[in-house]
Structure 1
Amino acid sequence: MSRICELTGKGRQVGHNVSHANNKTKRVFLPNLQNVTLLSEKLDRSFKFRVSTHGLRSVEHNGGLDNWLLKTNDEKLSPRALKVKRELKKAAASA
């Protein structure tokens, strides 16, 4: 399973461990991913996503899952999140 946030696209970053003697060795910074269940108010359903804690705060700050998905570019979203976004657009068009 890849270490990528399904809502923000945030993935691993590469950097260095730096010792006191300034020796540098490669290392990997992984995002803090959590399995969460988010509620869609327009669809009246819940969805399970693997989201970074930064992404979870961003979703809550922007007014919930529905607003976040409609505002975010498709390139950043996972295939599962894109499917939910299409359902939201379909529900909004029919309502």
Structure 2
Amino acid sequence: MGKFCEICEKGTLNGNNVSHSNRKSHRIWAPNVQSVRVMVNGTAKRMNVCTRCLRSGNVQRALPKVHEEA
């Protein structure tokens, strides 16, 4: 899923744009979701996490992969 946080289960909301003349058109509010590598039960896993969960420390980010050359 694209705009869905797998930690706090925050998803998209829908509503209306309301103009000054009170005409309404549909719109969507989507959370700021990033695809990051996080530690889950001691293993690194790629998950969709909102930036609020990242900022508040609800997830622990995994260390980046290091490519070693032989």
Structure 2 equivalent of residue 48 of structure 1: 46
TM alignment of 1:1-95, pairs within 5 A? 1-39=1-39, 43=42, 45-58=43-56, 60=57, 62=58, 64-65=59-60
Offset of residue 23 of structure 1 = 1.4
Matched letter for residue 37 of structure 2: T
Q: Which has the higher helix share?
A: 1
Q: Which has the higher strand share?
A: 2
Q: 1:38 & 1:4 partners in 2: Cα distance?
A: 16
Name stretches of at least 5 consecutive residues in structure 1 with no aligned partner: 66-95
Q: 2:22 & 2:16 partners in 1: Cα distance?
A: 10
Structure (1 or 2) with the larger CA radius of gyration: 2
Matched letter for residue 48 of structure 2: R
SS in 2 for 1:8: coil
Offset of residue 12 of structure 1 = 0.6
Offset of residue 55 of structure 1 = 2.1
Q: How many residues align?
A: 60
Post-superposition CA distance 1:29-60 (Å, at most 9, x none): 111111011235x72x32211111122223x1
Post-superposition CA distance 1:5-42 (Å, at most 9, x none): 111100110111111212121211111111011235x7
SS in 2 for 1:56: helix
RMSD between aligned residues: 2.1
Offset of residue 2 of structure 1 = 4.5
